[in-house]
């Protein structure tokens, strides 16, 4: 078994593009709209829903563009991303104005690292 994609919400196409393409380096591969009828059946929300799909060789993300901030996740839900150089990513994220959460691990020089996008989605970052 493997995960085919994850789905995340974002406030705008611009914020989505900044986070997934500019920061994480994923390529936008598809944009589409799910009809209000289908959205209601899937998610109990009756409205047309724009989705942007991003990908690289290792992961795919479907980004639901919404201004409905009540759709934000709970405080514990997060996605863990493994990157080649977490310090390089964090430096770039910090320069781009993203919330970086860095907590020292007890007993060594390493740390826990989380990154929050502008919608409030939380990502654990590992190397």
pLDDT-derived band of residue 76, with 50, 70 and 90 as boundaries? confident
Q: How far is CA 100 from the centre of its chain?
A: 14
SS3 of 1, please?
Answer: coil
Order of strands across the sheet with 99-104?
A: 78-82, 122-126, 111-116, 99-104
CATH 3.10.180.10 fits 6-68+76-126, yes or no: yes
What pTM did the predictor assign? 0.86
Find residue 55's DSSP bridge partners: 27, 60
Question: For residue 37, which of 28, 29, 46 has the smallest C-alpha distance?
Answer: 46
pLDDT tens-place string over residues 83-110: 999 999 999 999 999 999 999 988 888 8
Residues whose CB falls within 8 Å of the CB of residue 98, separated by 6 or more in sequence, listed in order: 19, 23, 115, 116, 117, 118
């Amino acid at each position: 078994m493997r995960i085919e994609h994850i789905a995340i919400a974002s406030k705008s196409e611009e914020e989505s593009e900044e986070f997934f393409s500019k920061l994480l380096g994923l390529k936008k591969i598809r944009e589409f709209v799910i009809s209000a009828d289908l959205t209601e059946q899937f998610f109990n929300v009756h409205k047309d829903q724009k989705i942007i799909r991003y990908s690289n060789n290792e992961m795919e993300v479907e980004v639901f563009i919404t201004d409905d901030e009540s759709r934000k996740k709970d405080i514990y839900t997060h996605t863990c991303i493994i990157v080649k150089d977490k310090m390089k990513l964090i430096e770039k994220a910090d320069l781009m104005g993203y919330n970086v959460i860095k907590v020292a691990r007890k007993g060594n020089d390493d740390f826990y690292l989380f990154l929050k996008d502008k919608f409030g989605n939380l990502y654990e970052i590992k190397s």
